[in-house]
Structure 1
Amino acid sequence: MSDAPARPMKYPYTISAKIAQFPMKYYVQNQWIWRYWMAGILVSAPIFYKIHKLANSPENVKIWAENKRKEEASHH
């Protein structure tokens, strides 16, 4: 087998070539949206985790199951 080409293709026409040649580092360093997106994930992750824990607490699961049981009983 031969080694990888010494220079990239002029026009990357395959998906893997497009991904390999995409200048992600440039975009992360020079566009504000990437920094705010990453910061937003870090800030919102604990909030969503807390909501998840509250929604799936044993008490809430019992209430939900009871409500679903009543709803299904009213349809039959």
Structure 2
Amino acid sequence: MSDAPGRPMKYPYTFTAKIAQFPLKFYIQNQWIWRYWFIGIAVASPVFYKIHKMANSPENVSKWAEIRKKEAAEHHH
């Protein structure tokens, strides 16, 4: 058996055939959304990383633990 079919189906009715014949390269090259999606991820990743580091810092975690402890104490009275 060969890796690729000798001739593509006229109408790809199976899901696999649809995926195999989908012109993904054309869409990536000709639609703006793909380019900006990757650029957006590259730009936003460092910002989200900084927010994550600040939110999960030991000082902030202990501060929120205290706040939760106070709230729990208020609800038990």
Same fold (TM over 0.5): yes
Taking structure 1 as the reference length, the TM-score comes to 0.80
What is the RMSD of the two structures over their aligned residues, measured on CA atoms?
Answer: 1.7
Alignment-mate amino acid for residue 65 of structure 1: A
Give how far 1:49 is off.
Answer: 0.6
Q: Does 1:30 align with 2:12?
A: no
Residues 73 and 30 (structure 1), Cα distance of their counterparts in 2 relative to 1, 3 Å cut: same
Partner of 2:40: 40
Q: For the structure 1 residues 29 and 59, does the alpha-carbon distance in structure 2 shift closer, same or farther, using more than 3 Å as the test?
A: same
Residues 1:62 and 2:62 are matched in the alignment: yes
**What TM-score, normalized by structure 2, do the two folds share?**
0.79
Gaps of 5+ in 1: none
Cα distance change on mapping 1:60 and 1:6 into 2, 3 Å: same
**Matched pairs, number:** 75
Alpha-carbon offset, residue 16 of structure 1: 2.7
Residue 6 of structure 1: how far off its partner (Å): 1.3
Aligned AA (1:49)? Y
What is the aligned partner in structure 2 of residue 51 from structure 1?
51
Q: 1:68 to 1:12 in 2, by over 3 A?
A: farther
Go from structure 1 to structure 2 and tell me whether the alpha carbon gap of 1:63 and 1:30 turns closer, same or farther (over 3 Å shift): same
Check 1:63–1:13 CA distance in 2 against 1; reply closer, same or farther (3 A cut): farther
Secondary structure of residue in 1 paired with 2:8: coil
